[in-house]
Amino acid sequence: MNLLLSALLILFGGSLIALSVRSSTLATRVGILSVLVAAPMAGYVALKVLLSGQPLSFSAPWAVPGGEFSLLLDPLAAFFVLPISILSLFCALYAGPYMAHAGQSRSLAPHWFYFNIMVTAMLLVVIAANALLFLAAWEIMTISSFFLVAWDHHREDVRKAAWLYLFAAHLGMMLLLLMFLLAGSYCDGFNFNNFGPLAQLPIGSASLIYLLALFGFGVKAGLFPVHIWLPDAHPAAPSHVSALMSGVLIKTGIYGILRILSLLPPAPAWWGWLMALLGAGGALYGISLAAQQRDIKRCLAYSTVENIGIMLLGLGFGMVAAAHGHPKIALLAFAGGLLHIWNHALFKGVMFLGAGALVHATGTRDMNRMGGLLRRMPLVGLLWIGGSLAISALPPLNGLISEWLIYLSLAQAGTALDGFAALVPLLLFGLLGMVGALALVTFSRLIGICLLGEPRDPAAANPHKVAPAMLVSMGSLLAGCLMIGIFPQGTLRLTSTALSQVARLPVGAELGRAVTPLGLGALLLMAVLIILGGLFAWLRLFRLQTQTSTWGCGYPMPTARMAYTGESYAEFVSHHLMPKIMRPKVSGGKVSGFFPISSKLAQSSTDLVLMRFLQPLFVALADRCQRLRWLQQGQLPVYLVYIFVASAVLMVWSLWAGGHGGK
């Protein structure tokens, strides 16, 4: 535990030093160095706890009523500390060269201050064992990430995105405050180990706490109907920040849900159904919108909504199976959901860092202005393709393993459950399959339009060089993906202590057996691919080669504008698969007559939930609240009367409460 505490102190101290220095390079060095030192320490401690299953704890007094600086690193917390430390390490490494250009015109000291504070707060969130400490860390995490998102605050869209994030996060925070107050009212303290009486709650109040936790934490996690801040905030933030937020920060929401579930009585089936159905809906919704985005980082942000959906589907279905008394199926589903958390942290890290490298190199986030980048930036391109393979759940990478476990549990439940309960898992199986297919479309589109073909823009034809440190961090994360893909049984063994804590079931060796063939298959597949690739390369040596432009259509002077665009690639998805309400808005493009004048065609996709439901709701609320404006008279005496009345009422109330409640 001392190691972890000193890691926290190093991060915190690093942030303060980074803030106090003037020069950007020095701040960068301090920031990176403190993360480089602290993250392996935290990761090492987490690994030890995961392997041994022995929780570590620490407690110190804290001068806040009801608060105590008590920390607990049990397997569940360690399960989240590990990806946080790994991903923050590589994101910090990547950020050095990535931010160097911005550092010439403005000081990077605040950036590194908030970056280190955010990492500290994330670690503190998952190891806090006191409700007040947890909420404080949660709030610090929100605010520091808000400032990181708002890094380019001179741009209006960034400011708007950051406000939306802050607003959504605080709505969630409100639910969490309510939840912890409610939970605390049943117990005699705000330490998590005082929360024992929660396990004996009647189902009604327990359900209320569960729902508050699900939606309160869900806002941060990107749970489907409350994911609205995600698609705006991720593109607005610098890429390594998006990677860190998408990879681990939003997972703290899932951690919160799991932690609260571990304190509540065993979950009834409908809790699990709710989570699984919201997850499935979110996965389908997220991936269908991801397939329509031109902005590559927005596309990745929607893919985050999808992946969170898959995790919640796994975890929720695990709860269902456990409630129906099928421990084996529950273990498979929980293992899939949990493993997907790690997997997503790794491959979404690769994807966002790669997107950052492309944006850095070309100066645009619009995929229709990229193209031909694989030839010009082969290493970044290859790593990005690797990440896409992983995220589309293709072998030999890790995405397949976790989704496979979920598929397996759904299929087994389809045969083991009876009646109507058997139909739903099979339907979910089908939906998950559809999500997988759409993910394939989304990521083949992302790669195809950005990396292949001809450059559509002069900027894409002459991209800037990418620093080796950026490649190293992407490569290391991808190596992690590959390792989990080839050696899944070892990874599952690593998660088994956390898994048994979440599922409240003993974990046997059968899980490892369920995925071992996958690892072997992955190895075999890689061998086959390498042999075939070598064979084709060898054969190509003997062929006559003519080089023409991709999508040149045989014209003598083809232009890049003839090539597929992102919209045309996704046309099938958007116009044939989606319900009408989710289709992108198309404007222009009307051509008439024999010699038509030049015309424009534009297509834009907006978030349905935000635009159709939440925005009108809040606008209506704001209109209602306008009527309260008469309270604001602008007269000093009137305000003083308000103060007087409020304090008089408080005094009388405290007297009344003292007379009735206190004695």
Partner 1 sequence: MMELINPLLLAVILINFYTLGSARLVACIRVVAIQGALLALLPLLSHGMTFHAMLLAAEAFCFKGVVIPWLLLRAIRRVRIRREMEPIVGFVPTLILGVLTTVGAFLFADLLPLAPEHHDGMFVPTALATMFSGFLLLITRRKAITQILGYLMLENGIFIFAVLLSAAMPVMVEAGILLDLLVGVFVMGIVVNQISREFSTINTERLTALKE
Among 640, 649, 650, 657, binds partner 1 (CB under 8 A): 640
Specify the stretch interacting with partner 1 by CB under 8 A; choose among 113-121, 142-150, 414-422, 628-636. 628-636
Taking the least distance from each CB to partner 1, the nearer of 617 and 640 is 640
CB of 641 to partner 1, least distance (A): 6
Question: Which residues does residue 324 pair with via DSSP β-bridges, in sequence order?
Answer: none
Please, which of residues 90-119 interact with partner 1 by CB under 8 A?
Answer: none
Q: How many residues bind partner 1 (CB under 8 A)?
A: 12
Q: 3-class DSSP state for residue 601?
A: strand
Question: How near is the Cβ of 628 to partner 1 at its closest, in Å?
Answer: 13
- C-alpha distances (whole Å) from 586 to each of 365, 370, 606, 612 are 20, 22, 12, 17
Residue 520 in the binding site for partner 1 (CB under 8 A): no
Q: What is the H or E stretch that residue 60 is in?
A: strand 56-61
Is residue 335 within 8 Å of 342, Cβ to Cβ? no
Q: Which of 599, 633 has the CB closer to partner 1?
A: 633
Q: Which of 202, 419, 634, 661 binds partner 1 (CB under 8 A)?
A: 634
Are the C-beta atoms of 404 and 518 separated by less than 8 Å? yes
How wide is the angle at C-alpha 308 spanned by C-alphas 514 and 300, nearest 5°? 110
- Check residue 646 for interaction with partner 1 (CB under 8 A): no
Nearer to partner 1, 528 or 638 (CB): 638
641 lines the binding site for partner 1 (CB under 8 A): yes
With CB under 8 A as the contact rule, the residue among 520, 644, 646, 650 that binds partner 1 is: 644
Write down the least CB distance from residue 655 to partner 1, Å.
Answer: 6
CB-side neighbour CA atoms (13 Å) of 471: 11
Give 532 or 640: the residue with its C-beta nearer to partner 1.
640
Smallest separation, CB 473 to partner 1 (Å):
48
CB closer to partner 1, 325 vs 659: 659
Is the Cβ of residue 554 or residue 661 nearer to partner 1 in the bound state?
661
For residue 104, CA distances in Å to 25, 92, 176 come to 9, 18, 41
Phi, psi torsion values for 295, nearest 5 degrees = -75, 120
Residues 6+ apart with CB under 8 A from 215: 172, 175, 223, 226
- One-letter identity of residue 466: V
- Of 418, 213, 221, residue with least CA distance to 304: 221
Segment interacting with partner 1, rule: CB under 8 A, options 196-204, 316-324, 562-570, 651-659: 651-659
Does 632 contact partner 1 by CB under 8 A?
yes
By CB under 8 A, which span of 218-226, 293-301, 391-399, 640-648 interacts with partner 1?
640-648
- The whole-angstrom separation of Cα 506 and Cα 441 is 39
CB of 652 to partner 1, least distance (A): 9
- CB nearer partner 1, residue 270 or residue 656: 656
Query: Is the separation of the CB atoms in 4 and 49 below 8 Å?
Result: no
- Among the listed ranges 13-21, 146-154, 231-239, 637-645, the one in contact with partner 1 (CB under 8 A) is 637-645
143-151, 549-557, 587-595, 629-637 -> range binding partner 1 (CB under 8 A): 629-637
Among 202, 419, 596, 637, binds partner 1 (CB under 8 A): 637
Give the DSSP H or E segment for 587. strand 585-588
Give the number of other Cβ atoms within 10 Å of residue 164's Cβ: 19
Residue in the structure block whose two tokens are 């279905």:
317
Which residue stretch of 259-267, 292-300, 340-348, 635-643 sits at the interface with partner 1 (rule: CB under 8 A)? 635-643
Q: Which is nearer to partner 1, 598 or 635 (CB)?
A: 635
The C-alpha atoms of residue 567 and residue 454 are separated, in whole angstroms, by 17
C-alpha to C-alpha distances, 428 to 88, 406, 414, 648, nearest whole angstrom? 34, 10, 10, 58
Q: What is each CA distance from 70 to 11, 138, 190, 195, 417, in whole angstroms?
A: 19, 15, 11, 14, 43
Of 534 and 658, CB closest to partner 1: 658
**Smallest distance from the beta carbon of 159 to partner 1, in angstroms?**
21
* CB of residue 153 to partner 1, shortest distance in Å: 24
As given in the structure block, the two tokens for residue 385 are 């393709």
Is 650 a binding residue for partner 1 by CB under 8 A? The answer is: no
Residue 450 contacts residue 370 (beta carbons within 8 Å): yes
Query: Is 559 or 633 the residue whose CB approaches partner 1 more closely?
Result: 633
Q: What single DSSP character describes residue 613?
A: I
Q: How far is the CB of 663 from partner 1 (least distance, A)?
A: 9
Residue whose CB is less far from partner 1, 591 or 657: 657
**Maximum CA pair distance of the chain?**
98
Q: Which residues bind partner 1 (CB under 8 A)?
A: 632-637, 640-641, 644, 655, 658-659
